[in-house]
Amino acid sequence: MPTKSKPKKNKKILVIVESPAKAKTIEKYLGRNYRVIASKGHIRDLPKSQMGIDFDNNYQPKYISIRGKGDTIKELKAEAKKAKEVYLASDPDREGEAIAWHVAHALNLDDTAKNRVTFNEVTKDAVKNSFKHPRAIDMDTVDAQQARRILDRIVGYSLSPILWDKVKKGLSAGRVQSVALKLVIDREKEIKDFKPQEYWTIEAEFKKGRKQFKSQFWGVDGKKQELPNNDAVQAVLAKITKDQYFEVSQVVKSERRRQPAAPFTTSTLQQEANKRLNYRTRRTMSIAQQLYEGISLGKQGTVGLITYMRTDSKRTSPVAQAEASKFLNEKYGQEYAAKGQRHFKNKQDAQDAHEAIRPTSVYRTPESLKSVLTTEQYRLYKLIWSRFLASEMTPAVYDTVRADIQQNGVIFRTTGSQMKFPGFTKVYDNQQEKNVELPDLTEGDLVKLDKSDNKQHFTLPPARYTEASLVRSLEENGVGRPSTYAPTIDTIQRRYYVKLEGKAIVPTELGEIVDDLIEKFFPDIVSVDFTAQLENDLDSVEAGKKNWVKVIDDYYHPFKKELDRADADIKKVQIKDEPAGFNCDICGAPMVIKMGRYGKFYACSRFPDCRNTKAIVKKVGVTCPKCGKGDVVEKKSKRNRKFYGCSRYPECDFVSWDKPINRVCPNDGHFLIEKKTKKGLIVQCPNGDYKEEPKDEAMAK
């Protein structure tokens, strides 16, 4: 009997993406003729053990397979060998283009073939449509990524050995991170050097009939006047007769329109998520990645809920705008939908490679997805959805009135504002304006001064950076690009060059030492303008206007001169141990305060013969209210949140998120705590209703 030959299996089309989560989603969209697998990020990079750059051969990089990626590369090669065609579908940015190029090299694919597909959103239509328009790998974009990687390697691997030798083992420095650190340290210097200026205000309360309204002193005899001191205040008050009426001398009524903000870019998303949701920049990007790659929606399958989240463009597609307009007309009425297409102006150096961050469909409302999203995913998706929808809505309209109230040449000014039409604020309001209602005032009306209050103030120093404001500063200065903000901030924290106090980013002593050394010997590296220009040069490489080798060459030669001078001139920095003021409880030798990777700690001066160490704790001057023996000390949780506990832990397990004080509640005898509020520090009892008036936090310190 003749043997039956096995039916030949149809060869499948192989698609290579970056992440396994995205691979599953895309394979469902493309169908059974496709096989989708993930490279799991980069598969080749510069070696960790050496510089990996051939300086004598136009800075050619010496790429090797990344350790641990052997099995992934084997799988990619095996699948490519039996595939009908291979498509490279990594992310639509520089890193994604470079990953596609590295994969093509590993699989011996022709990098001039039209096998590169990109999509801005992981939805069925977007993915399928991308395969109708494949293109070749964009080598200009690859060269821009290569140039950045090589420059960062040159800086990092040149500076780090100097820091190890001159300051401390284990330190490292980076190109963009050094600029971020300098921004933080410069702000701290501004705060320390700040000299407060005194100024005064006079707030008056007037009555028209039974209605009261507040007003601020504006000026004298038609000219605006500042109040630098109490003498100036008394000179103004001397002109006023309290028993006499004031006259409404001018009333200006107008209509004000407030326009919605643009949909999110990477930078603005990180800022708003930090301010509104208290998410760290890295956490924001991690959640956004999940929303982009796809969430299982039950019967609908896995769907990408937002567009690509690394972008500095404010542009949105006409299709998305049309869908938003339809949704707004159906849900809120035509008066809420913007007339015509709205265009938001990009910043000058925006790459505009793809759209702003938006939902892939506004009909997938946050509430409809609440059951399938985690709490973090839901909150971030709601923020993105609301911001985009608001950007396609009509302005909020306010009726405003400004009135000048005068007596003997002294002018008080009052302003009122009433919302006339909510417009976009019905969905998303990033300012939360309050209505200020005034009585009906007309010129010539007489009003009575009920009371006045003159207050002394002092100008405040600039605030410390938060993650949100540091991202904004990096973007405004043209330092880094959307994909670099989160890792840059994360890196300077992990290296303990800065630390978080609440939301504020504070430089450490170690960070100041490193910054001082780099600023002195490598001024270009920490120069904001120089770094911004380099970013522009990399953009020019991507646009095909500059040669990547020339860009590196122009940067490297001046840097090499600085490097040679620094190696010869930098003296070893001694981070001296400070006496701790007590002896080691193991060997009796004096304890000292040392600088470690995660800050200062107590250690025995006989190290390494004696390895006794202790954490440094800050006493708050209160005896433990639970055991009465230990001291209440300030501690940090795993998430870097401040809390208070007993120094005798674990013998005593007293713990409090709020700072206890040396007083007890007059009602029930429970210890009182200090709590931070927007108005200042309040003292209250955790058990009851007892509460004291807020006091100024600066005075409390």
Catalytic residue list = 308
Task: Kindly write down the DSSP assignment for every residue of 563-583, as one continuous string.
Answer: HHHHHHHPPPP--PPEEEEEE
**8 A C-beta contact, residue 458 and residue 195:** no
C-alpha torsion sign, points 606, 607, 610, 611: positive
Nearest Cα residue to 110 out of 141, 93, 134, 129 = 134
* Preceding omega of 92 cis (within 30 degrees of 0): no
Helices 467-476, 266-277: axis angle to 10 degrees equals: 160
Give me the phi and psi of 143, to 5 degrees please: -65, -35
* Preceding omega of 650 cis (within 30 degrees of 0): yes
Distance CA 627, CA 190 (A): 44
What's 503's DSSP letter?
A: T
- How many other C-beta atoms are found inside a 10 Å radius of the C-beta of residue 135? 12
Residue that has been written with the tokens 């005064």 in this structure: 200
Q: How many Å from the N-terminal Cα to the C-terminal Cα in the chain?
A: 98
Distance CA 191, CA 336 (A): 45
**8 A C-beta contact, residue 455 and residue 203:** yes
- Enter the tokens of residue 396: 């909020």
Distance CA 536, CA 479 (A): 10
Name residues whose C-beta falls within 8 Å of residue 379's C-beta, 6 or more positions apart in sequence: 277
Residue that has been written with the tokens 């109708």 in this structure: 132
